Structure 1
Amino acid sequence: MSSFPIYGNIIKVKWVNSDSVSIVPSFYQSQSGVLEKLKTGFEVIKGFNDNHFAFINGNDKNKEVPFTPDITNIQSLLKDTLKNMIGSDWWIYDKTGDLIIHSQPTDSLFKPMMHRSDNFFAEQTLLMASNEHLGFMNDEKIIDTILKLDLKDILQKPKWVDGSGLSRYNLFTPKSFVYILNKMKNEFGLERMKNILPTGGEGTLSSYYKKDAGFIYAKTGTLSNNCALSGYLITHKGKLLIFSVLSNNYITGATPVRKAVEQFLQQLREKY
Protein backbone atom coordinates (compact mmCIF):
# COMPACT_ATOMS: atom_id res chain seq x y z
CA MET A 1 0.00 0.00 0.00
CA SER A 2 1.23 3.49 -0.82
CA SER A 3 -0.02 7.04 -1.00
CA PHE A 4 -0.02 6.95 -4.81
CA PRO A 5 -0.51 3.41 -6.14
CA ILE A 6 0.28 2.97 -9.82
CA TYR A 7 0.01 -0.24 -11.85
CA GLY A 8 -1.26 -1.74 -8.61
CA ASN A 9 2.37 -1.42 -7.38
CA ILE A 10 3.25 -4.57 -9.33
CA ILE A 11 5.17 -5.46 -12.47
CA LYS A 12 3.98 -8.23 -14.78
CA VAL A 13 6.79 -10.46 -16.02
CA LYS A 14 6.50 -12.87 -18.97
CA TRP A 15 9.11 -15.43 -20.05
CA VAL A 16 10.15 -14.83 -23.68
CA ASN A 17 13.07 -17.19 -24.24
CA SER A 18 16.21 -18.45 -22.50
CA ASP A 19 17.80 -15.01 -22.72
CA SER A 20 15.01 -12.58 -21.91
CA VAL A 21 11.77 -11.70 -20.18
CA SER A 22 9.30 -8.91 -20.96
CA ILE A 23 8.18 -6.55 -18.20
CA VAL A 24 5.13 -4.30 -17.92
CA PRO A 25 5.48 -1.42 -17.22
CA SER A 26 8.48 -1.26 -19.56
CA PHE A 27 10.08 1.38 -17.32
CA TYR A 28 11.42 -1.48 -15.18
CA GLN A 29 12.91 -3.37 -18.13
CA SER A 30 16.10 -1.31 -17.83
CA GLN A 31 16.28 -2.07 -14.11
CA SER A 32 16.26 -5.83 -14.57
CA GLY A 33 18.84 -8.36 -15.63
CA VAL A 34 19.01 -12.01 -16.65
CA LEU A 35 21.77 -13.69 -14.65
CA GLU A 36 21.73 -17.08 -16.36
CA LYS A 37 19.99 -19.06 -19.11
CA LEU A 38 16.28 -19.29 -18.45
CA LYS A 39 15.83 -22.77 -19.88
CA THR A 40 12.41 -23.63 -18.50
CA GLY A 41 11.19 -20.33 -17.14
CA PHE A 42 12.38 -17.87 -14.51
CA GLU A 43 12.62 -17.11 -10.82
CA VAL A 44 12.82 -13.52 -9.52
CA ILE A 45 15.42 -12.20 -7.09
CA LYS A 46 14.60 -8.80 -5.57
CA GLY A 47 15.50 -6.93 -2.41
CA PHE A 48 12.53 -5.94 -0.25
CA ASN A 49 13.09 -2.19 -0.49
CA ASP A 50 14.60 -1.81 -3.96
CA ASN A 51 13.26 -2.07 -7.50
CA HIS A 52 16.07 -4.00 -9.19
CA PHE A 53 14.88 -7.34 -10.54
CA ALA A 54 17.21 -10.22 -11.34
CA PHE A 55 16.12 -13.42 -13.08
CA ILE A 56 17.53 -16.91 -12.79
CA ASN A 57 16.35 -20.20 -14.21
CA GLY A 58 13.08 -21.38 -12.70
CA ASN A 59 9.58 -22.66 -13.49
CA ASP A 60 7.54 -19.44 -13.83
CA LYS A 61 6.35 -18.35 -17.25
CA ASN A 62 4.19 -15.45 -16.01
CA LYS A 63 4.43 -13.73 -12.65
CA GLU A 64 3.34 -10.57 -10.84
CA VAL A 65 6.01 -9.04 -8.61
CA PRO A 66 5.49 -6.05 -6.27
CA PHE A 67 7.67 -2.99 -6.55
CA THR A 68 8.28 -0.29 -3.96
CA PRO A 69 6.91 3.03 -5.25
CA ASP A 70 8.73 6.27 -4.50
CA ILE A 71 8.27 9.78 -5.88
CA THR A 72 10.98 9.32 -8.52
CA ASN A 73 9.67 6.19 -10.16
CA ILE A 74 6.02 7.28 -9.75
CA GLN A 75 6.76 10.44 -11.73
CA SER A 76 8.65 8.46 -14.37
CA LEU A 77 5.86 5.92 -14.67
CA LEU A 78 3.22 8.62 -15.04
CA LYS A 79 5.15 10.50 -17.71
CA ASP A 80 5.88 7.29 -19.58
CA THR A 81 2.22 6.22 -19.46
CA LEU A 82 0.58 9.56 -20.21
CA LYS A 83 3.06 11.21 -22.57
CA ASN A 84 0.77 10.74 -25.58
CA MET A 85 -2.38 11.98 -23.85
CA ILE A 86 -1.89 15.77 -23.83
CA GLY A 87 -5.26 17.46 -24.02
CA SER A 88 -7.19 15.08 -21.75
CA ASP A 89 -9.49 16.70 -19.23
CA TRP A 90 -7.80 15.43 -16.09
CA TRP A 91 -4.09 16.19 -16.35
CA ILE A 92 -1.64 18.70 -17.81
CA TYR A 93 2.07 19.46 -17.74
CA ASP A 94 3.09 22.72 -16.11
CA LYS A 95 5.69 25.09 -17.58
CA THR A 96 8.56 23.19 -15.99
CA GLY A 97 7.46 19.91 -17.53
CA ASP A 98 6.26 18.41 -14.26
CA LEU A 99 3.06 16.43 -14.34
CA ILE A 100 0.02 17.84 -12.52
CA ILE A 101 -2.88 15.52 -11.72
CA HIS A 102 -6.40 16.93 -11.53
CA SER A 103 -9.41 15.43 -9.84
CA GLN A 104 -12.15 13.37 -11.45
CA PRO A 105 -15.79 13.88 -10.42
CA THR A 106 -16.25 12.11 -7.09
CA ASP A 107 -18.98 9.71 -8.20
CA SER A 108 -16.85 8.45 -11.09
CA LEU A 109 -14.80 6.78 -8.34
CA PHE A 110 -17.62 5.82 -5.99
CA LYS A 111 -19.81 4.08 -8.58
CA PRO A 112 -17.26 1.51 -9.86
CA MET A 113 -16.01 1.06 -6.29
CA MET A 114 -19.51 0.06 -5.16
CA HIS A 115 -20.38 -1.99 -8.24
CA ARG A 116 -17.13 -3.99 -8.14
CA SER A 117 -16.80 -3.94 -4.36
CA ASP A 118 -13.29 -2.62 -4.93
CA ASN A 119 -11.48 -2.79 -1.59
CA PHE A 120 -8.34 -1.21 -3.06
CA PHE A 121 -10.30 1.89 -4.16
CA ALA A 122 -11.94 2.05 -0.73
CA GLU A 123 -8.64 1.98 1.15
CA GLN A 124 -7.08 4.63 -1.10
CA THR A 125 -10.18 6.84 -0.80
CA LEU A 126 -9.84 6.90 2.98
CA LEU A 127 -6.17 7.86 2.65
CA MET A 128 -7.07 10.65 0.21
CA ALA A 129 -9.75 11.90 2.61
CA SER A 130 -7.14 11.97 5.35
CA ASN A 131 -4.76 13.97 3.19
CA GLU A 132 -7.50 16.43 2.24
CA HIS A 133 -8.79 17.04 5.77
CA LEU A 134 -5.68 16.47 7.92
CA GLY A 135 -2.85 17.27 5.52
CA PHE A 136 -1.33 13.78 5.76
CA MET A 137 -2.33 10.19 5.03
CA ASN A 138 -3.23 8.14 8.09
CA ASP A 139 -6.12 5.68 8.39
CA GLU A 140 -6.29 5.74 12.17
CA LYS A 141 -6.31 9.53 12.47
CA ILE A 142 -8.98 10.16 9.82
CA ILE A 143 -11.22 7.41 11.22
CA ASP A 144 -10.97 8.98 14.67
CA THR A 145 -11.79 12.40 13.17
CA ILE A 146 -14.83 11.11 11.27
CA LEU A 147 -16.19 9.33 14.34
CA LYS A 148 -15.80 12.49 16.43
CA LEU A 149 -17.30 14.86 13.84
CA ASP A 150 -19.41 13.46 10.97
CA LEU A 151 -20.58 10.38 12.87
CA LYS A 152 -20.65 11.84 16.37
CA ASP A 153 -24.40 11.15 16.67
CA ILE A 154 -24.27 7.51 15.63
CA LEU A 155 -26.30 5.49 18.14
CA GLN A 156 -24.03 2.45 18.32
CA LYS A 157 -20.42 3.56 17.97
CA PRO A 158 -18.57 1.13 15.70
CA LYS A 159 -15.08 -0.26 15.97
CA TRP A 160 -13.54 0.86 12.70
CA VAL A 161 -9.92 0.10 11.79
CA ASP A 162 -9.43 0.32 7.99
CA GLY A 163 -10.81 1.71 4.76
CA SER A 164 -11.31 -1.53 2.84
CA GLY A 165 -13.57 -3.30 5.33
CA LEU A 166 -11.47 -6.44 5.09
CA SER A 167 -10.29 -6.54 8.68
CA ARG A 168 -12.21 -8.73 11.11
CA TYR A 169 -11.51 -6.06 13.72
CA ASN A 170 -14.15 -3.87 12.03
CA LEU A 171 -17.36 -4.14 14.06
CA PHE A 172 -20.50 -2.37 12.78
CA THR A 173 -24.09 -3.16 13.74
CA PRO A 174 -27.08 -3.09 11.35
CA LYS A 175 -28.35 -0.02 13.24
CA SER A 176 -25.06 1.75 12.47
CA PHE A 177 -25.39 1.02 8.75
CA VAL A 178 -29.01 2.20 8.71
CA TYR A 179 -27.92 5.43 10.44
CA ILE A 180 -25.19 6.02 7.85
CA LEU A 181 -27.47 5.22 4.89
CA ASN A 182 -30.12 7.58 6.22
CA LYS A 183 -27.52 10.31 6.79
CA MET A 184 -26.24 9.93 3.21
CA LYS A 185 -29.79 10.08 1.83
CA ASN A 186 -30.50 13.26 3.75
CA GLU A 187 -27.21 14.98 2.93
CA PHE A 188 -26.62 13.83 -0.64
CA GLY A 189 -30.11 12.91 -1.87
CA LEU A 190 -31.63 9.56 -2.74
CA GLU A 191 -31.16 9.99 -6.49
CA ARG A 192 -27.41 10.37 -6.06
CA MET A 193 -27.28 7.26 -3.88
CA LYS A 194 -29.28 5.34 -6.51
CA ASN A 195 -26.70 6.34 -9.11
CA ILE A 196 -23.79 5.13 -6.99
CA LEU A 197 -25.17 1.84 -5.62
CA PRO A 198 -25.90 -1.20 -7.81
CA THR A 199 -29.50 -2.29 -8.28
CA GLY A 200 -30.82 -5.77 -9.07
CA GLY A 201 -28.85 -7.51 -11.82
CA GLU A 202 -25.90 -5.10 -11.57
CA GLY A 203 -22.45 -5.26 -10.01
CA THR A 204 -22.30 -7.50 -6.94
CA LEU A 205 -26.09 -7.93 -7.23
CA SER A 206 -25.78 -9.29 -10.79
CA SER A 207 -27.21 -12.70 -9.79
CA TYR A 208 -29.85 -11.37 -7.42
CA TYR A 209 -32.92 -9.10 -7.28
CA LYS A 210 -33.36 -9.11 -11.06
CA LYS A 211 -37.14 -8.74 -10.67
CA ASP A 212 -36.54 -5.84 -8.30
CA ALA A 213 -34.21 -3.84 -10.55
CA GLY A 214 -34.90 -0.17 -9.94
CA PHE A 215 -36.48 -0.90 -6.57
CA ILE A 216 -33.45 -1.96 -4.55
CA TYR A 217 -30.08 -0.21 -4.29
CA ALA A 218 -27.62 -1.89 -1.99
CA LYS A 219 -24.05 -2.80 -1.13
CA THR A 220 -22.87 -6.31 -0.34
CA GLY A 221 -20.18 -7.27 2.14
CA THR A 222 -18.45 -10.64 2.36
CA LEU A 223 -15.91 -12.36 4.59
CA SER A 224 -15.65 -16.09 5.14
CA ASN A 225 -18.75 -17.23 7.10
CA ASN A 226 -20.06 -13.65 7.10
CA CYS A 227 -22.11 -11.77 4.54
CA ALA A 228 -24.04 -8.54 4.59
CA LEU A 229 -26.39 -6.44 2.50
CA SER A 230 -27.33 -2.86 3.32
CA GLY A 231 -29.21 -0.30 1.27
CA TYR A 232 -32.55 1.13 0.15
CA LEU A 233 -35.72 -0.78 -0.78
CA ILE A 234 -38.76 0.77 -2.45
CA THR A 235 -41.90 -1.24 -1.67
CA HIS A 236 -44.91 -1.99 -3.88
CA LYS A 237 -46.78 0.80 -2.07
CA GLY A 238 -43.98 3.27 -2.81
CA LYS A 239 -42.50 3.38 0.70
CA LEU A 240 -38.77 3.74 1.15
CA LEU A 241 -37.22 1.25 3.58
CA ILE A 242 -33.60 1.51 4.70
CA PHE A 243 -32.30 -1.91 5.67
CA SER A 244 -29.20 -3.74 6.83
CA VAL A 245 -28.92 -7.53 7.09
CA LEU A 246 -25.79 -9.07 8.62
CA SER A 247 -25.45 -12.87 8.62
CA ASN A 248 -22.63 -14.75 10.31
CA ASN A 249 -21.42 -18.09 11.67
CA TYR A 250 -22.97 -20.13 8.86
CA ILE A 251 -21.00 -23.17 7.66
CA THR A 252 -22.28 -23.21 4.08
CA GLY A 253 -21.12 -20.92 1.31
CA ALA A 254 -22.59 -17.44 1.01
CA THR A 255 -24.96 -18.24 -1.88
CA PRO A 256 -27.79 -19.94 0.09
CA VAL A 257 -27.62 -17.19 2.73
CA ARG A 258 -27.85 -14.46 0.07
CA LYS A 259 -30.82 -16.24 -1.53
CA ALA A 260 -32.57 -16.39 1.86
CA VAL A 261 -31.96 -12.66 2.37
CA GLU A 262 -33.27 -12.02 -1.15
CA GLN A 263 -36.48 -13.90 -0.34
CA PHE A 264 -36.86 -12.00 2.95
CA LEU A 265 -36.48 -8.58 1.27
CA GLN A 266 -38.87 -9.53 -1.52
CA GLN A 267 -41.48 -10.41 1.12
CA LEU A 268 -40.91 -7.03 2.78
CA ARG A 269 -41.34 -5.27 -0.55
CA GLU A 270 -44.60 -7.09 -1.30
CA LYS A 271 -46.05 -6.58 2.21
CA TYR A 272 -45.29 -2.88 2.69
Structure 2
Amino acid sequence: MNTNDLRDFGGATEGRNDGRSRFHGYKRSATIRRCEVAILERARRSATRYKGGMLDQWLTELLARSGMSQAELARRLTAELNRSIDRAAVNKMTKRKRNIDGDEVLAIERIFGDQAPRSESLPARPVDAAPPQHISGRDLVGGADLPVYAAARGGDGHIIVTFDPVEFVKRPAPLAHVKEGYGLLVTGDSMVPAYRPGDTALVNPRLPAERGEDVILYHNPPDGEAEATVKHLVAFNDREWTLQQYNPPETFTLSRIEWPICHRVVGKYNRR
Protein backbone atom coordinates (compact mmCIF):
# COMPACT_ATOMS: atom_id res chain seq x y z
CA MET A 1 0.00 0.00 0.00
CA ASN A 2 1.47 3.35 -0.98
CA THR A 3 1.19 6.75 0.68
CA ASN A 4 -1.64 7.90 -1.60
CA ASP A 5 -3.71 4.85 -0.68
CA LEU A 6 -3.18 5.54 3.00
CA ARG A 7 -4.13 9.18 2.63
CA ASP A 8 -7.67 8.11 1.76
CA PHE A 9 -7.86 6.08 4.95
CA GLY A 10 -6.90 9.14 6.99
CA GLY A 11 -10.06 10.99 6.03
CA ALA A 12 -8.45 13.59 3.76
CA THR A 13 -10.56 12.49 0.80
CA GLU A 14 -14.17 13.64 0.92
CA GLY A 15 -17.19 11.69 -0.22
CA ARG A 16 -16.30 8.23 1.10
CA ASN A 17 -18.89 6.64 3.33
CA ASP A 18 -17.18 3.30 3.87
CA GLY A 19 -13.70 2.48 5.06
CA ARG A 20 -13.24 5.86 6.71
CA SER A 21 -10.60 5.29 9.29
CA ARG A 22 -8.46 6.86 11.91
CA PHE A 23 -4.71 6.72 12.34
CA HIS A 24 -3.40 5.53 15.67
CA GLY A 25 -0.10 4.87 17.24
CA TYR A 26 3.22 6.67 17.03
CA LYS A 27 5.52 5.92 19.93
CA ARG A 28 8.72 7.90 20.27
CA SER A 29 11.78 7.84 22.54
CA ALA A 30 14.65 10.33 22.11
CA THR A 31 14.30 9.80 18.38
CA ILE A 32 11.58 7.95 16.55
CA ARG A 33 12.22 4.26 17.08
CA ARG A 34 8.91 2.91 15.96
CA CYS A 35 5.71 4.23 14.44
CA GLU A 36 2.55 2.18 14.09
CA VAL A 37 -0.69 3.26 12.55
CA ALA A 38 -3.92 1.48 13.34
CA ILE A 39 -6.90 2.06 11.05
CA LEU A 40 -10.32 1.70 12.64
CA GLU A 41 -13.59 1.44 10.76
CA ARG A 42 -16.11 4.22 11.30
CA ALA A 43 -18.64 3.74 14.03
CA ARG A 44 -22.31 3.72 13.24
CA ARG A 45 -23.97 7.13 13.22
CA SER A 46 -26.38 6.34 16.03
CA ALA A 47 -25.24 7.38 19.52
CA THR A 48 -23.71 4.39 21.29
CA ARG A 49 -24.86 5.35 24.75
CA TYR A 50 -28.42 4.43 23.79
CA LYS A 51 -29.71 0.87 23.88
CA GLY A 52 -30.49 0.53 20.18
CA GLY A 53 -32.52 -2.66 20.62
CA MET A 54 -34.92 -0.89 22.99
CA LEU A 55 -35.39 2.40 21.15
CA ASP A 56 -38.18 1.08 18.92
CA GLN A 57 -40.16 -0.15 21.94
CA TRP A 58 -39.52 3.13 23.78
CA LEU A 59 -40.77 5.18 20.82
CA THR A 60 -43.83 2.96 20.34
CA GLU A 61 -44.76 3.37 24.01
CA LEU A 62 -44.28 7.15 23.84
CA LEU A 63 -46.66 7.42 20.89
CA ALA A 64 -49.24 5.19 22.57
CA ARG A 65 -49.13 7.08 25.89
CA SER A 66 -49.26 10.53 24.32
CA GLY A 67 -51.78 9.76 21.59
CA MET A 68 -49.54 11.52 19.10
CA SER A 69 -49.74 10.21 15.54
CA GLN A 70 -46.70 9.13 13.57
CA ALA A 71 -47.43 11.89 11.07
CA GLU A 72 -47.44 14.52 13.82
CA LEU A 73 -44.17 13.23 15.26
CA ALA A 74 -42.63 13.30 11.77
CA ARG A 75 -43.73 16.92 11.39
CA ARG A 76 -42.24 17.90 14.75
CA LEU A 77 -38.99 16.05 14.10
CA THR A 78 -38.67 17.82 10.77
CA ALA A 79 -39.07 21.16 12.55
CA GLU A 80 -36.64 20.20 15.35
CA LEU A 81 -33.90 18.84 13.11
CA ASN A 82 -34.34 21.13 10.10
CA ARG A 83 -34.42 18.17 7.72
CA SER A 84 -37.27 16.19 6.24
CA ILE A 85 -38.54 13.16 8.18
CA ASP A 86 -41.81 11.63 6.95
CA ARG A 87 -44.38 9.35 8.57
CA ALA A 88 -42.93 6.29 6.82
CA ALA A 89 -39.56 6.94 8.47
CA VAL A 90 -41.19 7.14 11.90
CA ASN A 91 -43.10 3.94 11.21
CA LYS A 92 -39.83 2.18 10.33
CA MET A 93 -38.27 3.46 13.57
CA THR A 94 -41.03 1.79 15.61
CA LYS A 95 -40.51 -1.51 13.79
CA ARG A 96 -36.71 -1.49 13.98
CA LYS A 97 -36.43 -1.22 10.22
CA ARG A 98 -34.53 2.07 10.48
CA ASN A 99 -31.85 3.19 12.93
CA ILE A 100 -32.73 6.16 15.12
CA ASP A 101 -29.77 8.54 14.89
CA GLY A 102 -28.37 10.29 17.94
CA ASP A 103 -29.79 13.72 17.10
CA GLU A 104 -33.19 12.13 16.45
CA VAL A 105 -33.16 10.48 19.88
CA LEU A 106 -32.37 13.82 21.51
CA ALA A 107 -35.18 15.51 19.56
CA ILE A 108 -37.66 12.79 20.58
CA GLU A 109 -36.61 13.25 24.21
CA ARG A 110 -37.32 16.97 23.95
CA ILE A 111 -40.67 16.46 22.24
CA PHE A 112 -42.00 13.96 24.78
CA GLY A 113 -40.02 15.02 27.84
CA ASP A 114 -38.92 11.43 28.34
CA GLN A 115 -35.41 9.97 28.48
CA ALA A 116 -34.34 7.17 26.15
CA PRO A 117 -32.98 3.92 27.64
CA ARG A 118 -29.24 4.24 28.21
CA SER A 119 -26.44 1.74 28.09
CA GLU A 120 -24.42 1.47 31.29
CA SER A 121 -21.10 1.78 29.50
CA LEU A 122 -19.54 2.14 26.08
CA PRO A 123 -17.38 -0.49 24.42
CA ALA A 124 -13.72 0.28 23.93
CA ARG A 125 -14.43 0.39 20.20
CA PRO A 126 -17.56 0.00 18.10
CA VAL A 127 -18.77 -3.58 18.34
CA ASP A 128 -19.12 -3.80 14.56
CA ALA A 129 -15.67 -2.35 13.81
CA ALA A 130 -12.93 -4.42 12.24
CA PRO A 131 -9.78 -5.07 14.31
CA PRO A 132 -7.07 -2.41 13.85
CA GLN A 133 -4.79 -2.90 10.86
CA HIS A 134 -1.17 -2.19 11.71
CA ILE A 135 1.04 -0.59 9.05
CA SER A 136 4.67 0.40 9.13
CA GLY A 137 5.07 4.07 10.01
CA ARG A 138 7.96 4.56 7.56
CA ASP A 139 5.49 5.07 4.74
CA LEU A 140 3.35 7.57 6.62
CA VAL A 141 5.50 10.34 8.07
CA GLY A 142 7.22 13.32 6.50
CA GLY A 143 9.49 15.98 7.96
CA ALA A 144 9.39 16.96 11.62
CA ASP A 145 7.58 20.23 10.91
CA LEU A 146 4.10 19.63 12.35
CA PRO A 147 3.47 22.05 15.26
CA VAL A 148 2.03 20.56 18.44
CA TYR A 149 0.08 22.77 20.82
CA ALA A 150 -0.55 22.19 24.51
CA ALA A 151 -3.85 22.50 26.34
CA ALA A 152 -4.84 23.06 29.96
CA ARG A 153 -8.08 22.00 31.60
CA GLY A 154 -10.82 24.61 31.66
CA GLY A 155 -14.28 24.59 33.19
CA ASP A 156 -17.16 22.25 32.26
CA GLY A 157 -14.80 19.70 30.72
CA HIS A 158 -13.40 22.20 28.21
CA ILE A 159 -9.75 22.91 27.52
CA ILE A 160 -7.73 26.07 26.94
CA VAL A 161 -5.43 25.69 23.93
CA THR A 162 -2.28 27.81 23.69
CA PHE A 163 -1.19 28.32 20.07
CA ASP A 164 2.52 28.47 20.77
CA PRO A 165 4.12 25.17 19.65
CA VAL A 166 5.64 23.08 22.41
CA GLU A 167 7.34 20.85 19.85
CA PHE A 168 7.43 19.84 16.20
CA VAL A 169 6.87 16.23 15.18
CA LYS A 170 6.89 14.09 12.05
CA ARG A 171 4.05 14.89 9.67
CA PRO A 172 1.72 11.95 8.81
CA ALA A 173 0.40 11.33 5.31
CA PRO A 174 -3.09 12.80 5.94
CA LEU A 175 -1.41 16.14 6.76
CA ALA A 176 1.44 15.92 4.24
CA HIS A 177 0.13 18.82 2.14
CA VAL A 178 -1.95 20.62 4.78
CA LYS A 179 0.02 23.69 5.80
CA GLU A 180 -2.52 24.57 8.50
CA GLY A 181 -2.43 21.07 10.04
CA TYR A 182 -1.38 20.72 13.66
CA GLY A 183 -1.25 18.39 16.63
CA LEU A 184 -2.99 18.94 19.95
CA LEU A 185 -1.83 17.33 23.19
CA VAL A 186 -4.90 15.77 24.77
CA THR A 187 -5.65 16.57 28.39
CA GLY A 188 -8.45 15.13 30.48
CA ASP A 189 -10.02 11.69 30.21
CA SER A 190 -13.50 12.38 28.78
CA MET A 191 -12.58 10.66 25.48
CA VAL A 192 -10.86 7.57 26.93
CA PRO A 193 -10.32 5.00 25.44
CA ALA A 194 -10.19 6.76 22.03
CA TYR A 195 -7.85 9.48 23.32
CA ARG A 196 -5.84 9.29 26.52
CA PRO A 197 -4.08 12.15 28.32
CA GLY A 198 -0.79 12.78 26.56
CA ASP A 199 -1.94 11.52 23.15
CA THR A 200 -1.51 13.92 20.24
CA ALA A 201 -4.64 14.49 18.15
CA LEU A 202 -3.78 15.14 14.49
CA VAL A 203 -5.94 17.91 13.07
CA ASN A 204 -6.87 19.04 9.56
CA PRO A 205 -8.74 22.35 9.91
CA ARG A 206 -9.55 22.43 6.18
CA LEU A 207 -11.95 19.49 6.28
CA PRO A 208 -15.67 20.20 6.73
CA ALA A 209 -17.66 18.94 9.69
CA GLU A 210 -18.96 15.41 9.15
CA ARG A 211 -21.09 13.03 11.17
CA GLY A 212 -19.23 10.12 12.69
CA GLU A 213 -15.88 11.91 12.93
CA ASP A 214 -13.89 13.22 15.91
CA VAL A 215 -13.66 17.00 16.07
CA ILE A 216 -12.27 19.92 18.04
CA LEU A 217 -14.79 22.71 18.55
CA TYR A 218 -13.58 26.21 19.37
CA HIS A 219 -15.52 28.79 21.34
CA ASN A 220 -13.48 31.61 19.82
CA PRO A 221 -11.04 31.85 16.87
CA PRO A 222 -7.94 29.68 17.46
CA ASP A 223 -5.35 32.43 17.88
CA GLY A 224 -3.19 33.00 20.94
CA GLU A 225 -5.41 31.14 23.40
CA ALA A 226 -8.81 29.58 22.72
CA GLU A 227 -11.38 27.58 24.63
CA ALA A 228 -12.02 24.22 22.96
CA THR A 229 -13.49 20.76 23.43
CA VAL A 230 -12.54 17.43 21.83
CA LYS A 231 -15.53 15.20 21.12
CA HIS A 232 -17.12 12.76 18.65
CA LEU A 233 -19.56 14.46 16.27
CA VAL A 234 -22.83 12.51 16.15
CA ALA A 235 -24.85 15.00 14.10
CA PHE A 236 -25.35 18.69 13.46
CA ASN A 237 -27.77 21.18 11.96
CA ASP A 238 -27.89 24.94 11.52
CA ARG A 239 -28.42 25.52 15.24
CA GLU A 240 -26.38 22.99 17.18
CA TRP A 241 -23.78 20.24 17.34
CA THR A 242 -24.74 16.84 18.76
CA LEU A 243 -21.63 15.47 20.46
CA GLN A 244 -20.57 12.34 22.26
CA GLN A 245 -17.96 11.67 24.91
CA TYR A 246 -16.96 8.27 26.26
CA ASN A 247 -15.96 8.78 29.90
CA PRO A 248 -18.46 9.08 31.43
CA PRO A 249 -20.66 8.16 28.45
CA GLU A 250 -22.78 11.12 27.45
CA THR A 251 -24.40 12.59 24.37
CA PHE A 252 -25.26 16.30 24.44
CA THR A 253 -25.60 19.39 22.27
CA LEU A 254 -23.71 22.69 21.98
CA SER A 255 -24.88 25.83 20.24
CA ARG A 256 -23.20 26.56 16.90
CA ILE A 257 -23.45 30.26 17.68
CA GLU A 258 -21.38 29.77 20.84
CA TRP A 259 -19.07 27.16 19.27
CA PRO A 260 -18.76 28.26 15.63
CA ILE A 261 -15.43 26.70 14.64
CA CYS A 262 -15.05 22.98 13.92
CA HIS A 263 -11.72 21.30 13.10
CA ARG A 264 -11.60 17.63 12.04
CA VAL A 265 -9.33 15.12 13.79
CA VAL A 266 -7.82 12.69 11.26
CA GLY A 267 -5.83 10.52 13.65
CA LYS A 268 -3.56 10.50 16.66
CA TYR A 269 -0.04 9.78 17.90
CA ASN A 270 0.00 7.71 21.08
CA ARG A 271 1.50 9.28 24.16
CA ARG A 272 5.16 8.62 24.76
Normalised to the residue count of structure 1, the TM-score between the two structures is 0.22
Q: Identify the structure with the greater strand proportion.
A: 2
Q: Which has the larger radius of gyration?
A: 1
Q: Which has the higher contact order (CA 8 A, sep 6+)?
A: 2
Normalised to the residue count of structure 2, the TM-score between the two structures is 0.22
